């Protein structure tokens, strides 16, 4: 029995050695050393389909120009003076007469795609998901064996449909019309916009009056799939415009809400309002720097601390401006405009002196990074979703302050009849200071939101000052509800006009619309009520 066990063990070792030395079939490697470009690309796909370490090593060598061929046609991976034979697994000194295998752009693209496809066999689920999503952008027939093999062993319910779609995309280039037709039908539920030109090319006639797709049954299937894809993409575009219009509206709302208080309720034309936004954004940047240096483990919480810091910083600047400059200019709009414009220049130069003239980056916290994919291809980013709800929360808090607090009561009293409020003992000067500080602080919160959507620079506020005034004037001076409706309305109109007219012409069209609207309805969407109207 001992002898039998020894013989079986020896046989197992021999089989294991034989398998180790026959890592990749030599017939599979041979086309790489040949001159047929199609055969070389097909060989790349078949090697990748092995999904082994040796396959990855061969493809890496081909990509890095370290794959050589002997005069006999053997393929070797050369590293210095050593050569590894993937067909036998043996390593030996590099023989004489070997020649490097030339890689053109087409073959290099196939190699890179095949190597990316090897991630489909990773043990990490996120790597497999990322690789499957990358394949949705485009595959070729050479990747089909690799995708089919990955599909056969994939069990994840989110990854498997992506692989099925990728396999269908790869099969569009199959020489078999039956396979191509099945692939076209399988893609009838896709929302992949990159397939639109592929399907259109099938239906187009060339210079010789022949279709891109020679088989009529495949063309008929392509017509149906293309029509479904066009309808789905049109619906996705509408939903995307709605979302990004609401997102833009929320940014305009945060930018204009403070101005609705300082200009709408107090009648102050504050041209430095954009710089108050900028101060809030730079306060956010300063909080990020503080957390990176002193609290790196809690970096994701910096934004929560930045909210009160930005509010207080902008509010204090606003209070100082009101007490030192603006209080002397009430009832003098032209002087107020010129003075605040000069203040805006001073604030921008002060920020340049402190932080430099270059833009600075404020990174999103981890919980605001990424997004949600809906309708197959539309990505709703978390930072925009959070800003939408944040803007609504700020509106709710401002409404509560103006309608349910003592300060709000005094603000409304001073707005409606300043002299009567003064006669009843209301400190109108203090109310002016607190109201201007509240509007400035809200502008600082808008700066926090803007810092999460792009880089922060000294001229950040200049991009929003005109839009903020348009929102306030359109909504109705002093009307909070009108500001909300005008902000979201202008955001939606802008996003739906941009695809047809471009960003610049869209803004011009909106400005012309507001001018015409104000000519017909000077009080805006909502008229101000009270004794002040009289």
**How confident is residue 287, by pLDDT bands cut at 50, 70 and 90?**
very high
Of residues 148, 158, 151, 149, the one with CA closest to residue 179: 148
Token output for 187: 């893609």
Residue 436 and residue 273 in contact, taking contact as beta carbons nearer than 8 Å = no
- Look at residue 277 in the predicted model and tell me its pLDDT: 92
The region of weakest confidence among 136-145, 330-339, 507-516, 521-530 is: 521-530
Of residues 438, 462, 525, the one with CA closest to residue 488: 525
Q: Residues 465-468: contacts with CB within 8 Å, 24+ apart?
A: 465/271, 465/273, 465/274, 467/252, 467/255, 467/256, 468/252, 468/255, 468/256, 468/259, 468/273, 468/274
Q: Mention every residue, 6+ apart, whose C-beta is less than 8 A from residue 303.
A: 284, 287, 365, 368, 448, 452
- Residues 333-387 have pLDDT tens digits of 888 888 989 999 999 999 999 988 888 988 889 888 888 878 767 888 899 999 9
Report which DSSP code applies to 359.
Answer: -
How many Å apart are CA 172 and CA 110, to the nearest integer? Answer: 16
Strands 67-69 and 75-79, by their bridges, are: antiparallel
* Percent of the chain whose pLDDT exceeds 90: 15
Instruction: Please indicate whether residue 530 or residue 369 has the higher confidence score (pLDDT).
Output: 369
Report, as an integer, the average pLDDT of 134-152: 73
Q: How many CB atoms lie within 10 A of CB 372?
A: 10
The sign one gets for the Cα dihedral 25, 27, 33, 36 is negative
Question: Is residue 13's pLDDT more than 70?
Answer: no
The region of weakest confidence among 252-266, 282-296, 393-407 is: 252-266
The sign one gets for the Cα dihedral 513, 515, 518, 519 is negative
How many Å apart are CA 310 and CA 9, to the nearest integer? Answer: 74
Q: Is the pTM of this model over 0.75?
A: no
Question: Is residue 152's pLDDT more than 50?
Answer: yes
170 φ, ψ to 5°?
-65, -35
Report, as an integer, the average pLDDT of 430-442: 89
- Look at residue 352 in the predicted model and tell me its pLDDT: 92
Tell me which architecture the domain covering 236-533 has in CATH. Orthogonal Bundle (1.10)
- Residues 72-91 have pLDDT tens digits of 888 888 888 888 888 888 88
Mean pLDDT comparison of 190-199, 374-383, 434-443, 476-485, highest-scoring range: 434-443
Q: Residues 378, 380, 381, 384: what is their CA dihedral angle, to the nearest 10 degrees?
A: 140
How many Å apart are CA 219 and CA 242, to the nearest integer? Answer: 34
How many Å apart are CA 121 and CA 150, to the nearest integer? Answer: 6
Report which DSSP code applies to 456.
Answer: B
- Look at residue 280 in the predicted model and tell me its pLDDT: 93
Token output for 200: 């259109």
Question: Is residue 308's pLDDT more than 90?
Answer: yes
- Residues 168-210 have pLDDT tens digits of 877 787 788 888 888 888 888 877 777 788 788 888 887 777 8
Instruction: Please indicate whether residue 527 or residue 204 has the higher confidence score (pLDDT).
Output: 204
Give kind and range of the element (H or E) at residue 78: strand 75-79
Domain layout of the chain by residue ranges: 17-107, 122-214, 236-533
Question: Is residue 530's pLDDT more than 70?
Answer: no
- Look at residue 23 in the predicted model and tell me its pLDDT: 67
Distance of CA 187 to the CA centre of its chain: 26
């Amino acid at each position: 029995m001992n002898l039998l066990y020894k013989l079986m063990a020896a046989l197992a070792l021999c089989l294991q050695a034989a398998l180790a030395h026959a890592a990749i079939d030599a017939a599979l490697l041979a086309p790489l050393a040949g001159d047929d470009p199609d055969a070389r690309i097909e060989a790349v796909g078949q090697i990748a389909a092995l999904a082994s370490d040796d396959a990855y090593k061969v493809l890496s060598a081909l990509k890095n120009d370290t794959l050589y061929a002997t005069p006999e046609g053997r393929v070797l991976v050369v590293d210095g003076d050593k050569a590894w034979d993937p067909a036998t697994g043996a390593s030996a000194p590099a023989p004489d007469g070997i020649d490097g295998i030339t890689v053109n752009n087409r073959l290099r693209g196939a190699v890179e795609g095949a190597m990316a496809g090897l991630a489909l066999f990773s043990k990490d689920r996120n790597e497999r998901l990322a690789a499957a999503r990358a394949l949705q952008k485009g595959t070729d027939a050479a990747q089909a064996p690799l995708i089919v093999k990955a599909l056969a062993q994939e069990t994840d319910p989110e990854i498997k449909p992506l692989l099925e779609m990728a396999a269908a995309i790869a099969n569009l280039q199959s020489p078999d019309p039956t396979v191509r037709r099945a692939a076209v039908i399988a893609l009838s539920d896709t929302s992949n916009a990159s397939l639109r030109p592929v399907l259109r090319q099938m239906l187009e006639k060339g210079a010789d009056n022949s279709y891109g797709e020679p088989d009529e049954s495949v063309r008929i299937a392509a017509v149906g799939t293309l029509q479904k894809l066009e309808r789905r993409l049109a619906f996705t575009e509408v939903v995307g415009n709605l979302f990004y219009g609401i997102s833009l509206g929320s940014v305009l709302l945060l930018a204009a809400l403070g101005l609705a208080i300082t200009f709408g309720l107090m009648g102050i034309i504050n041209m430095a309002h954009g710089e108050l936004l900028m101060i809030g954004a730079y306060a956010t940047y300063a909080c990020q720097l503080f957390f990176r240096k002193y609290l790196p483990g809690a970096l994701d919480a910096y934004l929560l601390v930045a909210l009160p810091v930005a509010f207080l910083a902008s509010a204090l600047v606003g209070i100082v401006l009101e007490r030192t400059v603006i209080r002397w200019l009430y009832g003098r709009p032209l002087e107020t405009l010129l003075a605040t414009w000069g203040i805006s220049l001073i604030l921008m130069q002060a920020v340049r002196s402190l932080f430099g003239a270059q833009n600075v980056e404020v990174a999103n916290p981890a919980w605001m990074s990424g997004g949600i994919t809906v309708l197959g291809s539309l990505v709703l980013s978390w930072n925009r979703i959070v800003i939408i709800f944040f803007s609504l929360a700020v509106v709710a808090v401002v409404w509560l302050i103006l309608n349910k607090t003592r300060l709000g009561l005094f603000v409304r009293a001073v707005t409606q009849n300043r002299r009567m409020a003064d006669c009843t003992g209301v400190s109108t000067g203090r109310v002016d200071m607190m109201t201007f500080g509240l509007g400035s602080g809200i502008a600082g919160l808008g700066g926090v939101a803007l810092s999460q959507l792009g880089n922060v620079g000294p001229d950040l506020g200049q991009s929003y000052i005109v839009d903020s005034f348009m929102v306030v004037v359109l909504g109705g001076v002093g009307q909070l509800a009108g500001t909300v409706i005008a902000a979201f309305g202008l955001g939606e109109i802008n996003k739906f006009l941009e695809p047809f007219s471009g960003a610049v012409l869209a803004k011009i069209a909106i400005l012309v619309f507001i001018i015409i609207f104000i000519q017909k309805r000077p009080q805006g969407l909502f008229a101000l009520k009270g004794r002040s109207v009289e």
